[in-house]
Structure 1
Amino acid sequence: MENKTSKYFKYAIGEIVLVVIGILIALQINTWNKQNEEHELELKILQEIRVNLNLDLNEIQEDIEIMADINAACDDVNTYLRTQESPSEKFFNNAAILRVTPHFDPNTSGYGLLVSKGIGIISSDSLRNDISLHYERLYSYYKRYEEERLRFHALHSEPKLIQHFTPLYDETQKYYLKHKISQEGFNILKKDSAFTKVISAIAYENSSVKNRAERVEKSILSLIKSLDNEIKSLQ
């Protein structure tokens, strides 16, 4: 009886050990599966953010080029008013450019997915912080600059331009609105010192936004580089 009891006890312990091992293996497999799922999700999110940033980069660089055109147009218009006695096609085109206010609309689907899944899914602390700062602070701050320029445009530059110029639709023009002014209107415009001040203010407001846009461009380029490195390490 003692021998049978000992064998039964050993058998029971062996069964318990096997059950425990089975549970531990199942838990480990479940952990691996979960880690693999999180790994794939992290990779997917980073790749989508990478695509979004590439689109953002193209848009912000296009806006920077347009703002450079606006600054050049401001200089040309002021110089023309000081040195010329009659309007020209180039003057009309430059006046039209003064009404342009580029608007940056970032693509945020990847970042939105990241927020919904939890930003902690990104394993790299530095990359996680860089992404958060870029979307939550840099883009928001840039939007404030654009909004300030739009308010200035609505309150000051737009009324002054409409006062002196007649906007006409023209398919051939880059900015789609050609601004005409008669000789008599041009003579009046040359004497309007307030108009010259508005043009200088347009250049100032535009330069402020352009400077901020160049910071956004720099941040996008840096973040794309970091994302490329992280995506490569995860693949």
Structure 2
Amino acid sequence: MITLFRRLRQRLLSENKFSKYLIYAIGEIILVVIGILIALQINNWNENRKLQQKEVQILKEIRSDLFQTKKDIFRTVEYHKKLVSQTQFLLNAIYNKVSYSDSIYRAFADSGYDSKIIPKSSSFENLKTIGLNAISNDSLRTAITTIFQLSFSRLTNDFQEDNSEFDISNMLYPYQQKYFEIDFSNFVMQPRKHSDSLKLFKLKIANYHQFLNDTELFKIIQLSMYTRSNLIDSQIEVIDDIDTVVEQIENELEKKAR
């Protein structure tokens, strides 16, 4: 084709047909411009396709992190619910001055346990490195940013971190130190994988009568149960937020698969 145009140009010049040559030259320029535009269009199409593939990959990674975080939250919620139930049992036992039992000891020991959630956020950190605009859907980009930067902050229970007096473990630890003592008549052998078994003596509640009548302790146990209940509500709200964002992601992935 190029050879044909070259011969045609040479023939027009040799025949001194300048006007026709000028028309030919303009046409040749137009063809070159059209070729460049087509090449640019193809290049843009390839770049957009790569960007869309990258966006799909990021969305799938974010969805995976959200699923894993939801599982962690759900397990923690179930754990906290169990502890709330145990703490309620402990309060009732203290209030009704129930005789000492291993169940009361266990409820008191467990009442100070806590469980922290570490949200899976590597996909969002990767998105921030690439650029938030990698998510083309504005509303979805806002929803993803909100859940990672705002909703997940609730999982760390900010008011407890800022005020250690409201930390469940810190609230109950001084009283556990006060009332727990070693029961030298009761021990258990705990097998270890890489060493000899350990002989561990169990604990029991000392000064049980004082324990039952310690109004300050009763107040703290009640406060810890209330705090844990608030944690459960907050964590369930985050689960709802995750479900909403995951649904938005799946809708976006479905659109891009068409």
Q: Is the 8 A contact 2:182 2:202 kept in 1?
A: yes
Q: Is the 8 A contact 1:165 1:179 kept in 2?
A: no
Q: Is the 8 A contact 1:103 1:146 kept in 2?
A: no
Distance 1:147 1:133 in 2: 21
Change (3 A) 1:179 1:18: farther
> Taking structure 1 as the reference length, what is the TM-score of the superposition?
0.87
Change (3 A) 1:93 1:28: same
Q: Is the 8 A contact 1:101 1:150 kept in 2?
A: no
Paired position in structure 1 for 2:161: 147
Paired position in structure 1 for 2:147: 134
Change (3 A) 1:141 1:211: same
Backbone CA RMSD of aligned residues: 2.6
Which AA in structure 2 matches 1:109?
S
SS in 2 for 1:86: coil
Aligned-residue offset at 1:92: 2.1
Change (3 A) 1:102 1:149: farther
Paired position in structure 2 for 1:100: 113
Aligned-residue offset at 1:212: 0.8
> Taking structure 2 as the reference length, what is the TM-score of the superposition?
0.80
Distance 1:42 1:141 in 2: 27
Task: Answer with 1 or 2: which has the greater Rg.
Answer: 2
Quick check: 114-123 or 21-30, which moved more? 114-123
Paired position in structure 2 for 1:65: 78
Change (3 A) 1:211 1:114: same
Paired position in structure 2 for 1:162: 177
Matches within 5 A, 1:4-83: 4-83=17-96
Q: Which blocks of at least 5 consecutive residues in structure 1 are unaligned?
A: none
Paired position in structure 2 for 1:180: 203
SS in 2 for 1:181: strand
Distance 1:167 1:16 in 2: 96
Q: Is the 8 A contact 1:69 1:97 kept in 2?
A: no
Distance 1:206 1:132 in 2: 27
Q: What CA deviation, in whole Å up to 9, does each residue of 1:163-198 have, x standing for no partner?
A: 1124899779xxxx997325x521221121111011
Change (3 A) 1:148 1:87: farther
Structure possessing the higher relative contact order (Cα contacts under 8 Å, 6 or more residues apart): 1
Q: Tell me the percent identity.
A: 28
Change (3 A) 1:114 1:81: same
Instruction: Give the aligned length.
Output: 230
Structure 1: which 4+ aligned runs deviate by more than 3 Å?
148-151, 166-172
Change (3 A) 1:96 1:130: same
Which AA in structure 2 matches 1:162?
Q
Distance 1:126 1:58 in 2: 25
Aligned-residue offset at 1:86: 3.2
Q: Is the 8 A contact 1:157 1:198 kept in 2?
A: yes
SS in 1 for 2:17: helix
Paired position in structure 1 for 2:5: none
Aligned-residue offset at 1:146: 5.2
Q: Does 1:233 align with 2:255?
A: yes
Quick check: 50-59 or 126-135, which moved more? 126-135
